[in-house]
Chain A
Amino acid sequence: MMHIQQEAEERHVLTVTVDNEAGILAKIAGLFTARGYNIDSLTVADITENHAVSRITIVTHGPPSQIDQIHAQLERLVPVHKVVDLTEVGPHVARELALVKVAGTGEKRVEALRIAEVFRARPVDTTTESFIFEMTGAPDKIDSFVALMRDLGLVEVGRTGIVAMARGPQEA
């Protein structure tokens, strides 16, 4: 009998600076599927005035040797300028934006609003029976907020996935 063996895994946050050209996102996402790597979240937007360069933030997990391969494989792509493994670099800020729709009336509605205040979530759409809260923060903070809303009439959640940056004055 044969069994598939598993290795210990780590979670890493990578930022990838790329030429903003057609197909680049497919190329990067496809690299992950083709080589059997994991994507936990992926965000992308252009970051220069002329829209020529995009920054992609990828959260992935895998054994350390695989994380190193992901780094090398990304760097090898022609449109990729730079890959930074923020988890390797050190302390970094990772933030995510979420929209959370909660419907309800009476005590539950009041409780939802009260918890939202504690979490500094802002209502951005309000009807007499619902809110949409907007919040930013570390992913685990959003996880906790969403968990609390589950009992208070949670309807829908939208999350961006994280963007991240190394702490301190220098570019990573």
Chain B
Amino acid sequence: MSEERSGANILVESLVKQGVEFVFGYPGGAVLPIYDALFGDERLRHILVRHEAGAAHAAEGYARSTGKPGVVLVTSGPGATNAVTGIADAYLDSIPLIVITGQVPTGLIGSDAFQEADTVGISRHCTKHNYLVKDPAELAAVIDEAFQIATTGRPGPVLIDIPKDVQIASAVWTDALAQRRQRYAPRTQGTRQEIAQAVEMIAAARQPILYTGGGVINSGPRASELLRELQAKTGAPVTSTLMGLGAFPADHPDWLGMLGMHGTYEANLAMNQADLIVCIGARFDDRVTGRLDAFSPNSKKIHIDIDRSSINKIVRADLPIVGDCAAVLEQILAEWGSRKGQDLTEWKACVDTWREKQSLCFPLNDEAIMPQLAIQRLYELTKHRDPVISTEVGQHQMWAAQHFPFFSPNKWLTSGGLGTMGYGLPAAIGAQCGNPDSLVIDIAGDASIQMNIQELGTATQYRLPVKVFILNNEWMGMVRQWQELTYESRFSNSYSDSLPDFVKLAEAYGWKGIRIENESQLDAGIQAMIDHPGPVIVDCLVHKESNCFPMIPSGASHVDMLLYGDHVLGTMDDEAKALV
């Protein structure tokens, strides 16, 4: 079948052909033809957000929780610039997004037209790839290629800028698959020598550790299964970055917990003392390594990553393997066969002594709810529902990572690389769209939640029963904590003054609002939240000055962790202050 169709129509047909279910967007002048093509089309569900940043984060939440690419549709100029934070977020966390932006008509590009911005220029360094389409005849092939680029190799956001006249002009449309240009072919498998060497190194290691990251999640559920198989064969203890939580079950005896700045004592000490680190889909981020010259001084490193540029960027790898986590793990397991590794009894005894520190312990408080306790209760009361958890950014995010255990991938949605406050609520909305029967909870802070609070209206409109669980300590807690620990408690602008009444705010949007003021109300409040069939905000008032520990202070190494009860001077030298 071949016929003439408008650019807008070709776009919609191409999205349907790609299996898109949801489009997260906001209309405006330069996308009116596309919105007209969407009108009355039952095949695509358009979710109208309240701000374009919300559209991008919602698409991220959808993508992260379903493994499918998220689709964003916004107008030119401010529509596109508002979406940039979400695009940059997806870029750093390798989330597949297709972002469609309207543009002023081709003849007006460069004339400072109304709502014109150089979207391709602005998004160039925060997208995996981007396009300005000047001919409707190219649209189908571009969209096809965009999906391929966004979802293969290291996933990421791809932006397609479409001028308004290109949306209106027509071109020949065939329902055959558009021809791909086939220029993008990422390497997915390791070479035989690499795999053989990896197996040899793992089998010879006496103090091995598996250090896993978001790449295992991105690679698909199979990668998590294979990781568990490799662990079972080798017996190596496992730690994970913030982005990789869920790939390995948190109740496994060899699970060490998260590593890095707010990771557990045992995870960081094991990294420091290991003789072999097998890094699988992680990238030695500064939040993970701490002081680089003291990072894991005695270990060999195997680094498995689909992105060659992640290897040797921060830490030199003794054996780099460029490839997809699942594919390479499959190869390693095949090569491993029925081999036996070294006896790890001594190593595990070592790990057990570090575990005895119980680094996640926190003092209870008679007057106020400890935020860690609130997370633990939230987990206990919701675990039978296998919930999807999103977070904002800050102390609450780290407490959730520490105290809310995960057992399977795609349940944990958080902004790791960019650290975007305001991510959690729209991400929860996107996740709820893709997982209509799941319990989806945004664990939030009182400051972060206000960054995209307008999205309450989106959940109301589409009857999405998302839950927002605010750990309200009346501070930008992580900023306050750093100011306490490194700037002699000079709390510059970190107090959350003039907070709204979150319960009334919930009610104003047609949500249910619940306030939890003390420990005796905690379980009942959480239960009421779960039992309510619609969206709920829980305003959980917690201990105001709690710090998130353990913590590797800026400029310190893995062995210099701060634990609860440590004496902290509250000062820091300039070299340490200057680190991120």
Question: Which residues of A are at the interface with B, using a C-beta cutoff of 8 A?
Answer: 1-2, 19, 22-23, 26-27, 30-31, 34, 65, 68-69, 72-73, 75-79, 81
Contacts and interface: CB of A to CB of B under 8 A. Distances in A.
Given A78-B149, A78-B183, A81-B183, A65 B312 contact: yes
Nearest to A33: B125
A68 B316 CA distance: 11
B120 A23 contact: yes
A77 B158 CA distance: 12
Given A1-B574, A23-B120, A72 B125 contact: no
Contacts of A26: 121, 124
A31 B125 contact: yes
A54 B348 CA distance: 56
Contacts of B515: none
B568 interface: no
A27 B124 contact: yes
Ranked nearest first, the 3 interchain pairs of A and B with the lowest CB-CB distance are: A72-B309, A2-B574, A78-B129
Nearest to B120: A23
Given A2-B574, A22-B132, A69 B313 contact: yes
Nearest to B312: A68
A72 B578 contact: no
Nearest to A4: B578
Given A19-B183, A68-B312, A69-B313, A76 B124 contact: no
A72 B311 contact: yes
A79 B128 CA distance: 11
A2 B576 CA distance: 9
Q: How large is the interface on B (under 10, 10 to 19, 20 to 34, 35 or more residues)?
A: 20 to 34
A64 to B, nearest CB: 10
B307 A76 contact: yes
Contacts of A73: 309
B544 interface: no
B114 interface: no
Contacts of B121: 23, 26
B184 interface: yes
A26 B312 CA distance: 26
A68 B308 CA distance: 10
Nearest to A35: B125
B125 A34 contact: yes
B149 to A, nearest CB: 6
B566 interface: no
Contacts of A19: 183
A7 B99 CA distance: 40
Given A69-B313, A78-B184, A2 B575 contact: yes
Contacts of A30: 124-125
B149 A76 contact: no
Contact of B309 (A65, A69, A78): A69
21 contacts: A2-B575, A2-B578, A22-B132, A23-B124, A23-B130, A23-B132, A26-B124, A30-B125, A31-B125, A65-B316, A69-B313, A72-B312, A75-B308, A75-B309, A76-B307, A76-B309, A78-B183, A78-B184, A79-B129, A79-B183, A81-B183
